[in-house]
């Protein structure tokens, strides 16, 4: 049986998150907040999930560019791997810097910076849209003669390092501070303090920041405030993913003239209309004061996240064994659950409709896997009963979840 061993990255990263949590708790450091951590992990789950469907396309892009536009053709040797490592890091620096300076790119990178906490769970806050944009930047690599298998391998290795710089538990690292991006450097990058804004874009090497004038050292007396300069204050999965894109469109609509509208897309994030966020929050009924979520609610969400993490692990591990229909249905099931978790934490009443959709998806997967008359009968009967008792079920469910 062909297994995808990359699935083991999930328990490995979870292990480090748990370890960091236990050490922080032991040291009585308030580095973890339950809802923030769940929101962070949920963003990561969606990315890993959608990655299953996009990895092939990314490989195809690198391979296509190599075969048609490569200037050089190297035989991979140790020297070329080293050059590729440096080159990948250099491109990352410029991708990351532009992601902070250009509205259209910030719309996908902003998700990484929304957390008010700073710990290993924040490293999971990468979206599939960011992966797509990054691929555009990395498509330069095959032009310089690096093959698709080389690039994909390098991106895997290169992608491991940044996870470990998302921590407050590690102080400064002596001489390594001169060469590598350290936790201290990356804390500065995630800060919303005026003095720290738009600094330390590097991924593995800090040399690029020093070279291009964006380096800033963590100062003793300057306590870091993490997150966006204008905090989002929402756990909604969808709002976290799309709020800036909507703010951008809102600003473009307010701007007169086609040329000026287009310029908004490429301008710096501070050009966004100051009232964009509040106008959209009002439109979508966000920011209602709902008070802290009850303990029971948190437990319910925690079980759901544990469940989908398990599902995702098995899904990636046995990826090649499932027919496409099951893959798509299971992916939808996980995505609906993620939206659901955010909505539960936000204490939204409409989550019952999502729960209903989720159950139907689950039944659909059963039917695809067991296409027998008895399972069909069971599903049709179950769905009919659910439709007939819809109102009662809804009342019972909302009472159960929100007391
Ligand atoms: Zn950033
Ligand atoms: Zn980061």
**Would you place residue 91 in the very low, low, confident or very high pLDDT band (cuts 50, 70, 90)?**
very high
pLDDT digits (tens, 9 = 90+) for 22-64: 999 999 999 998 889 999 999 999 999 998 889 889 999 999 9
Q: What is the pLDDT of residues 175-208, one digit of tens each?
A: 999 999 999 999 999 999 999 999 999 999 999 9
Which domain-ending residue is among 257, 283, 309?
Answer: 283
Ligand 1: centre distance to CA 90 (Å) = 15
382 in the same domain as 275: no
What's the 122 CA to ligand 2 centre distance in angstroms? 7
74 and 161 housed in the same domain: yes
Domain assignment present for residue 91? The answer is yes
Q: Considering every ligand atom, which ligand is closest to the CA of 118?
A: 2
Instruction: Quote the pLDDT of residue 220.
Output: 86
Residue 289 above 60 pLDDT?
no
Where a domain ends, among 171, 192, 212? 212
Judgement on whether residues 267 and 176 belong to the same structural domain of the protein? no
How confident is the model over 116-134, as pLDDT tens digits?
999 999 999 999 999 999 9
Q: How confident is the model at residue 291 (pLDDT cuts 50, 70, 90)?
A: low
CA distances 280 to 213, 231, 244, 251, Å, are 36, 15, 10, 11
Q: Per the structure, how many domains does the chain have?
A: 3
Opening angle at CA 25, ends 293 and 291, nearest 5: 15
pLDDT tens for residues 353-402? 888 888 888 887 778 777 788 888 888 888 888 888 888 888 888 777 77
Asked, for residue 350, whether it belongs to a domain, the answer is yes
Q: What is the pLDDT of residue 322?
A: 82
Cα separation of 265 and 269, whole Å? 9
User: Does residue 46 contact residue 338 with C-beta atoms inside 8 Å?
Assistant: yes
25 vs 13, 32, 225, CA distance in Å? 18, 9, 20
Question: Rounded to the nearest whole angstrom, what is the distance from the C-alpha of residue 201 to the centroid of ligand 1?
Answer: 6
Same domain, 133 and 256: no
Give the lowest-confidence range in 88-92, 139-143, 345-349.
345-349
Domain that holds residue 303: 295-402
Task: Tell me how far the alpha carbon of residue 25 lies from the centroid of ligand 2, in angstroms.
Answer: 22
Contacts of 185 (CB under 8 A, 6+ apart): 165, 177, 200, 202, 206, 209, 217, 218
Is the same domain home to 162 and 251?
no
Closest CA to 236 of 327, 348, 142: 348
* C-alpha of residue 51 to centroid of ligand 2, in Å: 19
Domain boundary among 212, 227, 252: 212
> What's the pLDDT score for residue 163?
95
**In whole numbers, what is the pLDDT of the chain averaged over residues?**
90
Query: Ligand 2 mean position to 230 CA, how many Å?
Result: 18
Give the number of residues written for the chain: 403
Which ligand has the shortest distance to the CA of 99? 1
How far does the centroid of ligand 1 lie from the alpha carbon of residue 317, in Å?
A: 30
Question: Could you say which ligand is closest to the alpha carbon of residue 203?
Answer: 2
**Distance between Cα 123 and ligand 1 center (Å):** 11
Expressed in angstroms and rounded, the spacing between residue 346 Cα and the centre of ligand 1 is: 26
Q: 174 with 46, same domain?
A: yes
Say if residue 302 is in the same domain as residue 157: no
Burial (CB < 10 A; 0-12, 13-18, 19+), residue 382, is middle
Ligand 1 centroid–CA 143 distance in Å is 26
Task: Give domain status of residue 339, yes or no.
Answer: yes
Is the residue at 78 inside a domain?
yes
The percentage of the chain sitting over the pLDDT mark of 70, rounded to a whole number, equals: 98
Band of residue 92 on the pLDDT scale cut at 50, 70, 90 = very high
What percentage of the chain has pLDDT greater than the value 90? 60
The answer to pTM > 0.85 is yes
Would residue 162 count as lying in a domain? yes
From the CA of 217, how far away is ligand 2's center (Å)? Answer: 16
What distance in angstroms lies between residue 253's CA and the mean position of ligand 2's atoms?
31
Ligand whose nearest atom lies closest to the CA of 122? 2
| Ligand nearest, relative to CA of residue 109 | 1
The Cα-based distances of 85 to 73, 163, 246 in angstroms read 17, 17, 36
CA 5 to ligand 1 centroid distance, Å? 29
Q: For residue 226, give the ligand nearest its CA.
A: 2
User: CA-CA distance, 159 to 161, in Å (whole number)?
Assistant: 6
């Amino acid at each position: 049986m062909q297994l995808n061993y990359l699935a083991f990255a999930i328990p490995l990263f979870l292990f480090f998150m748990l370890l960091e949590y236990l050490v922080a708790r032991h040291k009585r450091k308030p580095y973890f907040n339950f809802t923030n951590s769940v929101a962070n992990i949920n963003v990561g789950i969606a990315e890993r999930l959608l990655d299953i469907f996009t990895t092939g396309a990314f490989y195809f892009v690198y391979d296509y560019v190599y075969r048609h536009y490569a200037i050089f053709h190297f035989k991979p040797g140790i020297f070329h791997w080293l050059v590729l490592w440096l080159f990948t890091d250099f491109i990352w620096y410029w991708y990351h810097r532009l992601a902070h300076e250009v509205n259209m790119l910030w719309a996908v990178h902003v998700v990484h910076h929304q957390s008010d906490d700073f710990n290993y769970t924040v490293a999971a806050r990468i979206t599939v849209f960011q992966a797509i944009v990054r691929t555009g930047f990395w498509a330069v690599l095959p032009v310089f003669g690096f093959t698709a298998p080389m690039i994909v391998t390098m991106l895997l290795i290169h992608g491991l390092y940044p996870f470990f710089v998302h921590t407050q538990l590690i102080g400064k690292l002596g001489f390594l501070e001169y060469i590598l991006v350290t936790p201290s450097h990356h804390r500065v990058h995630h800060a919303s303090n005026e003095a720290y804004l738009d600094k330390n874009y590097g991924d593995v090497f800090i040399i690029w920041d020093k070279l291009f004038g964006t380096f800033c050292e963590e100062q003793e007396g300057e306590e870091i405030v993490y997150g966006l300069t204008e905090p989002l204050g929402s756990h909604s999965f969808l709002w976290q993913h799309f709020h800036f894109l909507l703010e951008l469109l809102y600003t473009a609509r307010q701007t007169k003239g086609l040329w000026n509208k287009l310029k908004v897309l490429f301008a710096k994030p501070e050009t966004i209309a100051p009232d964009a966020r509040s106008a959209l929050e009002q439109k979508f009924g966000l920011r209602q004061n709902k008070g802290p979520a009850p303990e029971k609610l948190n437990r319910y969400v925690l079980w759901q996240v544990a469940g989908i993490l398990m599902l995702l692990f098995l899904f990636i591990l046995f990826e090649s064994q499932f027919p496409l229909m099951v893959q798509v249905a299971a992916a939808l099931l996980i995505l609906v659950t993620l939206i659901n978790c955010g909505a539960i934490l936000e204490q939204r009443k409409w989550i019952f409709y999502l729960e209903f959709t989720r159950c139907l998806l689950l039944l659909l997967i059963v039917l695809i896997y067991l296409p027998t008359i008895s399972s069909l009968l069971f599903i049709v009967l179950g769905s009919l009963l659910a439709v007939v008792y819809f109102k009662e079920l809804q009342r019972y469910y909302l009472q159960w979840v929100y007391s």
